[in-house]
């Protein structure tokens, strides 16, 4: 196939996907976007102004971006390091499956996905491990999409998305054997609040793994360029503020977890390509520009709801800030924290007996 044919095919494919996007999206409205934009302070480093409204705002954020994410990225709303010889899809699955292994998941286990999106990771983790995964997301529309994909793929018996607030979870205490969060707890005003809830719903002796969005040790809060990058990342991703990885470690310990491991996956492997490589590739291959033109056309023709263009522009801008955060080394979306809820007396006796055998 010649390169012109290839270009034709990718434009046709992008157009088909754009038509799909405008057909499905009922919620993107200019009013919602304007309200969202107004809720961020213009003062450097200040983030969301009224923190009591953060959860509501995050829900609005996902009404605005969920279709565009699925359209332009896929069903897993997170980054992954690129593994040598693997494409992005396999690298993404490996990044997700790592959690199943860390959490020692297997058939019969009940696991919680904290901030599950439309369920891409949940489906990988349930199907690789055989464990049952319950997901929680604040956004109704994501539950609808999650249920749709689970049915389509025959995974309803192992994957169950639910709508709810992870700061006040609709689950009994001590019911899950394991929990994970992928690039989701960053939306909480205080990490202690979400970690505290995870601690409550986990059985004693079980593990919680999280890929956290953090400011790295290279972040300097007195450097205006670093602060600008973080402000742009916060605004374009619906975050109240950015935490350092040390703050995240401390938050987990504060609610009672033991810290088992803390490692930045962004820099852990000497051979993996950078997590922001896919964004750079989308930009350099001009796919982002193609998307921009398509969104412009469907907006001008009033096929897409008014406001989708603004949302897309926000994402174009934040894709640059994310790459800058990655290249400068001041930001990581994948600082892995592995916590353990201490064993209760019953579990302690059990593991002592197991050690003796």
Ligand X SMILES: C=C(CC[C@@H](C)[C@H]1CC[C@H]2C3=CC[C@H]4[C@H](C)[C@@H](O)CC[C@]4(C)[C@H]3CC[C@]12C)C(C)C
Ligand Y SMILES: C[S@@+](CC[C@H](N)C(=O)[O-])C[C@H]1O[C@@H](n2cnc3c(N)ncnc32)[C@H](O)[C@@H]1O
- Residues contributing to the site for ligand X (CB under 6 A): 68-69, 72-73, 77-78, 183, 186, 237-238, 282, 288, 291, 312, 315-316, 318-319
| Distance of alpha carbon 223 from alpha carbon 251, whole angstroms | 25
Q: How far is the CB of 143 from ligand Y (least distance, A)?
A: 9
158 contributes a contact to ligand Y by CB under 6 A = no
Asked if 214 and 242 count as a contact pair (C-beta separation under 8 A), the reply is: yes
From the list 15-23, 71-79, 124-132, 308-316, the region that binds ligand Y by CB under 6 A is 71-79
* Residue in the structure block whose two tokens are 């001008």: 300
Query: Which of 25, 91, 134, 142 is the binder for ligand Y (CB under 6 A)?
Result: 142
335 contributes a contact to ligand Y by CB under 6 A = no
Query: Which of 33, 62, 257, 331 is the binder for ligand Y (CB under 6 A)?
Result: 62
116 contributes a contact to ligand Y by CB under 6 A = yes
From the list 4-12, 99-107, 164-172, 245-253, the region that binds ligand Y by CB under 6 A is 164-172
Q: How far is the CB of 75 from ligand Y (least distance, A)?
A: 7
Query: Which of 22, 25, 39, 76 is the binder for ligand Y (CB under 6 A)?
Result: 76
- Residue 344 three-state SS: coil
Query: Which of 58, 131, 242, 318 is the binder for ligand Y (CB under 6 A)?
Result: 58
117 contributes a contact to ligand Y by CB under 6 A = yes
What is the helix (H) or strand (E) element at residue 335, kind and residue range? strand 331-340
| C-beta closer to ligand Y: residue 29 or 99 | 99
Asked if 191 and 243 count as a contact pair (C-beta separation under 8 A), the reply is: yes
From the list 1-9, 43-51, 76-84, 279-287, the region that binds ligand Y by CB under 6 A is 76-84
Q: How far is the CB of 238 from ligand X (least distance, A)?
A: 6
The separation between CA 278 and the C-alpha centre of its own chain, rounded to angstroms, equals 15
Give the tokens for residue 72. Answer: 């332009």
Give the tokens for residue 139. Answer: 């956004």
From the list 150-158, 163-171, 312-320, 348-356, the region that binds ligand Y by CB under 6 A is 163-171
Q: What is the DSSP letter of 272?
A: S
Measured torsion, CA atoms of residues 319, 325, 328, 334, in degrees rounded to the nearest 10: -110
Asked if 95 and 292 count as a contact pair (C-beta separation under 8 A), the reply is: no
From the list 39-47, 84-92, 180-188, 198-206, the region that binds ligand Y by CB under 6 A is 180-188
Q: Which does 93 bind (CB under 5 to 8 A by kind): ligand Y, ligand X, none?
A: none
DSSP codes joined into one string, 155-220: -TTTEEEEE-BTTB-SS-TT-EEEEEEES-GGGSS-HHHHHHHHHHHEEEEEEEEEEEEEE-TT--
Residue in 210, 167, 141, 146 with CA at minimum distance from that of residue 54? 167
Q: Which does 214 bind (CB under 5 to 8 A by kind): ligand Y, ligand X, none?
A: none
55 contributes a contact to ligand Y by CB under 6 A = yes
146 contributes a contact to ligand Y by CB under 6 A = no
CA angle at 18 for the pair 23 and 238, rounded to the nearest 5° = 85
133 contributes a contact to ligand Y by CB under 6 A = no
Q: What is the DSSP letter of 133?
A: E
Chain positions contacting ligand Y, by CB under 6 A = 55, 58, 62, 76-78, 115-117, 120-121, 136-139, 142, 165-167, 182-184, 187
């Amino acid at each position: 196939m010649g390169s012109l044919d290839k270009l034709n095919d990718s434009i046709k494919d992008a157009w088909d996907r754009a038509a799909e996007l405008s057909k499905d999206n009922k919620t993107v409205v200019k009013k919602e976007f304007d309200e969202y934009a107004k809720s961020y302070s213009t003062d450097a480093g200040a983030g969301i102004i009224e923190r009591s409204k953060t959860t509501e705002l995050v829900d609005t954020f996902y009404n605005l971006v969920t279709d565009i994410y699925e359209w332009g990225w896929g069903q897993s709303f997170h980054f992954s390091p690129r593994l040598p010889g693997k494409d992005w899809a396999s690298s993404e699955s490996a990044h997700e499956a790592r959690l199943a292994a860390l959490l020692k998941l297997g058939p019969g286990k009940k696991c919680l996905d904290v901030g599950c999106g439309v369920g891409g990771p949940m489906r990988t983790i349930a199907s690789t491990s055989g464990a049952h995964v319950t997901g929680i997301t604040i956004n109704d529309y994501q539950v609808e999409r999650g249920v749709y994909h689970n049915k389509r793929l025959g995974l309803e018996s192992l994957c169950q998305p639910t709508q709810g607030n992870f700061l006040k979870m609709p689950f009994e205490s001590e019911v899950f054997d394991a929990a994970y969060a992928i690039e989701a707890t960053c939306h909480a005003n205080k990490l202690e609040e979400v970690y505290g809830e995870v601690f409550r719903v986990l059985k004693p002796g079980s593990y919680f793994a999280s890929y956290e969005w953090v400011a790295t040790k290279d972040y300097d809060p007195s450097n205006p360029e670093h602060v600008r990058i973080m402000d742009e990342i916060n605004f374009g991703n619906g975050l109240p503020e950015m935490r350092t990885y040390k703050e995240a470690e401390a938050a987990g310990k504060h609610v009672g977890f033991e810290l088992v491991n803390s490692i930045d996956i962004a820099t852990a492997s000497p051979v993996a390509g950078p997590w922001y490589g896919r964004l750079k590739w989308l930009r350099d291959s001009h796919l982002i520009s193609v998307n921009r033109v398509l969104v412009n056309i469907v907006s001008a023709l009033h096929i897409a709801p008014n406001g989708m263009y603004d949302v897309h522009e926000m994402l174009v801008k934040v894709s640059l800030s994310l790459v800058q955060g990655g290249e400068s080394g001041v930001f990581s979306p994948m600082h892995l924290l592995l916590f353990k809820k201490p064993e209760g007396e019953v579990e302690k006796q059990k593991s002592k007996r197991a050690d003796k055998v």
